[in-house]
Amino acid sequence: MHPIISALKHHKTVVILVVLEIALTCAIVSNGIFIIGNHLATMRMQTGVADNELVWAESSGIGDASTSASQASRAAADLAALRGMPGVKSAVITNSLPLSSTGSWGTCIARKAGGADAESVCTVVIYAGTAGVVNTLGIRLSQGRDFLPQEYQDYDPFQGERAPPPSVIITRSLAQKMWPGEDPLGKPIFLGDKNSGVTHVVGVTDHLLNPSINKQSGADLNMLLPVTLATGNMYVLRTQPGVRDATLRNLPKVLDGVDEQRIITENHSYSDTVSDYFHDDRALIWLLLVVIGSLLALTALGVIGLSSFWVQQRTHQIGIRRAIGATRGDILRYFQTENFLIVSAGIVLGLGLAVVLNLLLMKQYELPRLPLTYLPIAAIVLWLLGQLAVLGPALRAAAVPPVVATRSV
């Protein structure tokens, strides 16, 4: 080991450059892998609904019926037409869907009537759906029951004075936040103007994502209310497998058939909606993969270039070593050990840099803290890369014949 280190002292600059290069690569790669991991984790979240069987549409029309009675009759006509489509299992109207980025209502809800701030949980998303919403969406309840037919009521959170429906289904996350460690079933939730309205928890679901995932509301802080008419007017259809795409194509015609004055503003299969929602995440992952790949390739090429230079520079010395008894294996191992030492120094510096870079990203771009488990991954990748890169030049060095020692140049 010692002769290698003292030999390196004669090439300080080059060694420092390689160490720096490895350190930077290490810092960027570990943070890159971490960011990729984060985005992948978000993308793998279960929406909590039947992703592949849902189709949805929104419409707006001229002369929208203004009284709630005429709205209700319109909605009933629309739903009847939609349910009549071949292969459609059920259809409901909701205000929004997980990851649809539209129609989301956020509100504060309280544990007690007129509760002080400490008693309330804010930025809770309210979903509202018409009869059959739980089965149509495919929400799985881990506790409690579905809504009863009589529990669907004419309610709109933005029309404050009316009492909310008697029952509500909430997510596990919301239950934990409202009543940590307690059984949420049957607990009252107060909402509306001055928290005057009350509803009771009848069911709990483990998975139901918000319309969009953000810092304020988190991923799944929401509750579902049974209503007869949902503002936002999102028609959600659950189809038999295989007829989804046909349903999607025919949907505008069927809705226009009920009222041709309307404009279909949205018409999508739900899996496309989810895929659209994650477009940016996928894009960033690809970008980072390309950058990480090119960084690693560049670093490897740099190591190959400099090792080749060293081998060339030391041909004479290698010849002498071989002449005085060093085996090919010795020469090979010399260059491999040298590379290992340099890469290790780079990794040590790089791990420090990775933490600094992460702190910077945390501060500037609200990224979470880098878990230390990501650091060994980057280190192992770089060690392997270094060994791989040095193999070619080291083999060439090992092939230098002892007779070179006797030549003058």
Partner 1 sequence: MFGYYLELALRSLRRSPGLTALMVLAIGFGVASSMTTWSVFRAVSGDPIPWKSSKLFVPQIDMWGPSARGSDGEPPDALDFADAMALMKAHRASRQSAIYAVSPSVVPAATGAFPLNVSGYGVYNEFFPMLDVPFLYGSGWSAADDASRAAVAVISHTLSQQAFGDGNSVGKTIDIEGRDYRVVGVLADWNPQPIFFDVRDTGGFSGDGPDVFLPFDRAIAVGMPNDGSTNCSVMPAAEGFVGLQQSSCIWIALMVELDDAAAVTGYRQFLDGYAAEQQHAGRFAWTPNNRLRDLPAFLTFEHVVPRDTKVSLLVALGLLIVCLINTVGLLLAKFLRRSGEIGVRRALGAPRAAIYQQFLCEAGVVGAAGGVLGLLLTGVGVAGVGLVLPKRIADLAHIDLSLLALTMLVAILATLLAGLYPTFRASRVQPAWQLKSN
Among all chains, which residue has been given the structure tokens 């002769």? 3
Query: Quick check: 163 binds partner 1 (CB under 8 A)?
Result: no
User: Least distance to partner 1 from the beta carbon of 89, Å?
Assistant: 30
- Among residues 366, 373, 406, 407, which is the contact residue for partner 1, using CB under 8 A? 366
Element (H, E) at 274: helix 270-277
Q: Which stretch binds partner 1 (CB under 8 A): 43-51, 143-151, 173-181, 261-269?
A: 261-269
Q: How far apart are CA 134 and CA 130, in angstroms?
A: 9
User: Least distance to partner 1 from the beta carbon of 64, Å?
Assistant: 9
- Among residues 4, 8, 20, 246, which is the contact residue for partner 1, using CB under 8 A? 20
Q: How far apart are CA 231 and CA 50, in angstroms?
A: 22
Q: How far apart are CA 350 and CA 22, in angstroms?
A: 7
Query: Quick check: 61 binds partner 1 (CB under 8 A)?
Result: yes
Residue pair 205/173 in contact by the 8 Å Cβ criterion? no
Query: Quick check: 263 binds partner 1 (CB under 8 A)?
Result: yes
Query: 403: which 2 tokens?
Result: 């007779």
- Among residues 65, 219, 243, 295, which is the contact residue for partner 1, using CB under 8 A? 295
User: Least distance to partner 1 from the beta carbon of 295, Å?
Assistant: 6
Q: How far apart are CA 155 and CA 161, in angstroms?
A: 10
Dihedral over Cα of 254, 104, 170, 164: its sign? negative
- Among residues 4, 7, 14, 404, which is the contact residue for partner 1, using CB under 8 A? 14
Please enumerate in sequence order all residues whose Cβ is within 8 A of that of 388, keeping only pairs 6 or more positions apart, or say none.
Answer: 300
Rounded to 5 degrees, what are φ and ψ at 188? -85, 145
Residue pair 308/336 in contact by the 8 Å Cβ criterion? no
Q: Which of residues 200-259 bind partner 1 (CB under 8 A)?
A: none
Residue pair 288/36 in contact by the 8 Å Cβ criterion? yes
Query: Quick check: 67 binds partner 1 (CB under 8 A)?
Result: no
How many residues lie near partner 1 (CB under 8 A)? 59
DSSP β-ladder status, 197-205 and 167-171: parallel
Element (H, E) at 334: helix 328-365
Query: What size, in residues, is the chain?
Result: 409
Q: Which is nearer to partner 1, 231 or 344 (CB)?
A: 231
Q: How many whole angstroms from its chain centre is CA 254?
A: 36
Q: Which is nearer to partner 1, 6 or 13 (CB)?
A: 13
User: Least distance to partner 1 from the beta carbon of 87, Å?
Assistant: 28
Q: Which is nearer to partner 1, 290 or 403 (CB)?
A: 290
Q: Where are the alpha helices (DSSP H) in 44-104?
A: 68-83
Q: Which of residues 84-123 bind partner 1 (CB under 8 A)?
A: 106-108, 117, 122
Nearest to 28 by CA among 384, 370, 353: 353
Query: Quick check: 343 binds partner 1 (CB under 8 A)?
Result: no
Residue pair 294/385 in contact by the 8 Å Cβ criterion? no
Q: Which is nearer to partner 1, 2 or 193 (CB)?
A: 193
Q: How far apart are CA 315 and CA 322, in angstroms?
A: 10
Residue pair 124/217 in contact by the 8 Å Cβ criterion? yes
Query: Quick check: 32 binds partner 1 (CB under 8 A)?
Result: yes
User: Least distance to partner 1 from the beta carbon of 191, Å?
Assistant: 7
- Among residues 35, 174, 225, 237, which is the contact residue for partner 1, using CB under 8 A? 35
Query: Quick check: 261 binds partner 1 (CB under 8 A)?
Result: yes
Query: Quick check: 70 binds partner 1 (CB under 8 A)?
Result: no
User: Least distance to partner 1 from the beta carbon of 148, Å?
Assistant: 25
User: Least distance to partner 1 from the beta carbon of 262, Å?
Assistant: 9
Which positions touch partner 1 (CB under 8 A)? 13-14, 17-18, 20-21, 24-25, 27-28, 32, 35, 60-63, 106-108, 117, 122, 156-161, 191-194, 261, 263, 265, 279-280, 283-284, 286-288, 290-291, 294-295, 298-299, 301-302, 305-306, 309, 312-313, 361, 364-366, 409
